[in-house]
Amino acid sequence: MNITPLLYSSSPCPLKELFSRSIPIDAYEENQGPCPVTFYEYNTTLVCCPREFTPSSIDAADSIAGPVSCLSNETHFLYLVDASELISIFPPDCKACSDAAVPIPYLFKSGAERILSFAEITLHWYVTGQGIWCPDCERQGRHCAFSSQRNQTFCMPHAHGSRIKVIAATSSVAAFVVLLLTVATALYLSLKTRYNEEIHLKVEMFLKTYGTSKPTRYTFSEVKKMARRFKEKVGQGGFGTVYKGELPNGVPVAVKMLEKSTGEGGEFINEVATIGRIHHANIVQLLGFCSEGTRRALIYEFMPNDSLERYIFSNDSNIYRQLLVPKKMLDLSLGIARGMEYLHQGCNQRILHFDIKPHNILLDYNFNPKISDFGLAKLCARDQSIVTLTAARGTMGYIAPELYSRNFGGISYKSDVYSFGMLVLEMVSGRRNSDPSVGSQSEVYLPEWIYEKVITGQDLILTLEMAQEEKEQVRQLAIVGLWCIQWNPKNRPSMTKVVNMLTGRLQNLQIPPKPFISSANHPMP
């Protein structure tokens, strides 16, 4: 059924609807309200022109309206014309498109422009049809509609009422969503503020109980000035970014800005608690710190020669040859071992680093190694043999097996020994401990490759021409490294024993057991 509402019409082009159907004039009744309205037929014609047309006479202009905006486009312009007006006043290329009798209240005088205005406003006349009384529709809160197929009027609900309900429902949902988002945002900001305040209090309480021997505390403005507004970036770590700076006395420093997302201030507290009060030639010195709201920074002595990682894995073979000659590799390993021995045995509390790797070994002006980055460190009593961790910590490839599974043994300072062993093997070979880029599948896992070289007496470094003494030094380093990465922590030496092995004679070292499960079946993590 083709249904067209006539009351309260909201059509964007009512004139088009009136021309599309012919409703007899007797279908229109007087309004039964206090102001009766009587309709009459106004005969009109729609004229279509290929371009805009302006009448030449004033009289003609009063009988012509248009172009009708909702019926016209760029190539067709439609005009509403009084049927009594001659079409001849239009240009020859214009033609009549349609004729219709438009029902118009008597209060509207003739004149096409006024007729067009009436047709384009909301329609408010009442319509009667065969067997249906339109005022009853209005009293029932509905309006009249006309079916062109049945040629009769009938009652139907107000279209605009449905739209109002839809709009009201949509508005209610939108208002609820906005309210929900507002509450959620306010709750998030409140929790975040409270969380930051708790971290700040935790850090401040730690600093108060830390004692008077802690490093110098700086304000954030002092740190920003010290780091020259963070212009010179020299490194990036897991917990923050490192910038080069300078103290007021001209001493160069490294400023490490901790990321705001660092959980519970743990990185900051670990660094200050572990190295804030210790001084050792092979441990980087913490000179100061900043804790101001969510902004936290650590100020270290500056290491101009970057980290050991730069030289071990350099693509430039000249850099590798200049620094990592056998004697220098032995000195570097010994320096790192002495620093770790101090952490494990030389402090009031044992300090477990849990992230020994080439990237965290910095080199000073004389290329002396210094252990850095204590963000994952853990303090424990010196007589405590086993420590408890909720999750593995460290860097993949340097993490001891027991940190993944307690089946390999308990977590202790021997976990650091494992990481040191991996570092030594990488330094000896110039390769990462697991390097997929290596061509031969049997050489993918570095410790297995080195072990085969050691037991068969082959040279480990093929890129250097070495004297016999240098070959023995490389072999000595390899054997020490293989002892350190034994899967059972009990079979690994302490760092004190490692120092003795590095300073002793090669002839006194025994080749260790195979320190791994074959990579063909069980690759190391």
Nearest to 330 by CA among 473, 433, 461, 426: 473
Residue 236 structure tokens: 């990036």
Burial class (CB within 10 angstroms; exposed 0-12, middle 13-18, buried 19+) of 60:
middle
What is the DSSP annotation of 89-134?
GS-TT-EEEEEEEEEEETTSPS-HHHHHHHHHSPP---B-BTTB-H
Report how far residue 367's alpha carbon sits from residue 354's, in angstroms, rounded to the nearest whole number: 23
Reply yes or no on whether 355 is catalytic: yes
DSSP secondary structure code for residue 84 in this structure:
T
Pairing mode, if any, of strands 286-292 and 216-217?
A: parallel
Q: What is the DSSP string of 144-194?
A: EEEETTTTEEEEEE-HHHHHHHHHHHHHHHHHHHHHHHHHHHHHHHHHHHH
**Both tokens of residue 74?**
């760029």
Choose the catalytic residue: 62, 82, 306, 355: 355
Q: Residue 256 annotated as binding? A: yes
Residue 297: C-alpha distances to residues 177, 225, 227, 236, 287 (Å): 40, 13, 11, 14, 11
Q: Which residue numbers are catalytic?
A: 355
Annotated binding site: 256
Annotated binding-site ranges for ATP: 256
